[in-house]
Structure 1
Amino acid sequence: MTAFDDGKDEGALRTIGEVSEALGIRPHVLRYWEQQFPLLKPMKRSGGRRYYRPADVAMVETIDRLVNREGYTLKGAEAVLRAASKSDLDRRKDDRRSGDRRADANQDAAPGVRLVVSEGPDMVEIIAGLKTVRAKLAAALEV
């Protein structure tokens, strides 16, 4: 995330001018992105003055990276942001549902793989089957 040199606290609200200057993105572009990306909604106070929260600044940085460095179209960048937002929401729901069982299940997972454990006897069989397949694949790679 961008470090601001304005003397404000890290979590402070920033005006569109402050965000524009810190990120090198013109204010009219930021206003246009607000129209194009429904997930980008800075607070608006009296007189319509915009205040960007740290999460808004992070989203602007992500949009800038996707559009200006990675070559996404605006619609493509919006799809990436929506997918990321949905996966974050799904992960939070899974965390609430699965509680502490998740940490135990992830100890058996391969590096970089997260297991999501849900209730039911079928899941135990499925997980056992997947572990068997993983062991067979590992043995085949060793040959």
Structure 2
Amino acid sequence: MPATEKAAGALLTIGELAAEIGRPQHILRYWETRFPQLKPLTRAGNRRYYRPDDVALVRRIHHLLSQEGYSIRGVQRLLADEKAARGKGRAEELRAIREALAEALDADG
């Protein structure tokens, strides 16, 4: 592995991630203000380190904005809708578990 490559799952600095997607660092800092899901680790001197989930989100935001033609607001809505759908799916799953447990308790009683 060359010295410039990092292991999969390694934290990336804002400079490394900005270079990877071909955007300036200030754009990533701006996206942090527009997408609350994007929360890199900050260390001494306010240095940002992006975890693998953050890197995937930045790549996705970049793709949606530059390749798919979404606006910032459009990406915000898309991500919010996806979060709501995941929450709804979890709520339905928990409801089914609750019903199964209630039936099991009724059968025992």
Query: Could you state the TM-score of these two structures normalised by the residue count of structure 2?
Result: 0.75
Unpaired runs of at least 5, structure 1:
100-117, 121-143
Residue equivalent to 1:52: 50
Q: What SS is found at the alignment partner of 2:49?
A: strand
One-letter code of the match for 1:14?
Answer: L
Q: What does residue 20 of structure 2 align with?
A: 22
- C-alpha displacement of 1:29: 0.8
Q: How many corresponding residue pairs?
A: 98
Provide structure 2 residue ranges, at least 5 long, that are not aligned to the other structure. Answer: 101-109
| Aligned alpha-carbon RMSD (Å) | 2.3
CA deviation profile, 1:5-58 (whole Å, cap 9, x unmatched) = 843221111100111111212111111111111111111112110010111111
2:31 aligns with 33
3-state SS in 1 of match to 2:5: coil
Distance 2:56 2:17 in 1: 10
Larger relative contact order, structure 1 or 2 (CA cutoff 8 Å, min sep 6): 2
75, 78, 83: which one aligns with 2:76: 78
Q: Hey, what does 1:66 align to over in structure 2?
A: 64
When the two structures are superposed, what TM-score results if normalisation uses the length of structure 1? Answer: 0.59
**Aligned pair in 2 of structure 1 residues 29, 96: CA closer, same or farther (>3 Å)?**
same
- Give the deviation of 1:94 after TM superposition: 3.7
CA distance in 1, matches of 2:84, 2:94: 16
- Secondary structure, in 3 states, of the residue corresponding to 1:80? helix
Displacement of 1:85 in angstroms is 2.1
User: In structure 2, do the counterparts of structure 1 residues 86 and 28 end up closer, same or farther at CA, with 3 Å as the change threshold?
Assistant: same
Cα–Cα, structure 1 residues 45 and 90, in superposed 2: closer, same or farther, change >3 Å? farther
Please list every run of at least 4 consecutive aligned residues from structure 1 whose deviation after the TM superposition is greater than 6 angstroms: none
CA distance in 1, matches of 2:18, 2:37: 18
Percent identity between the two aligned chains: 43
Q: Which is greater in Rg? A: 1
Identify which of 40, 43, 47 aligns with 1:42.
40
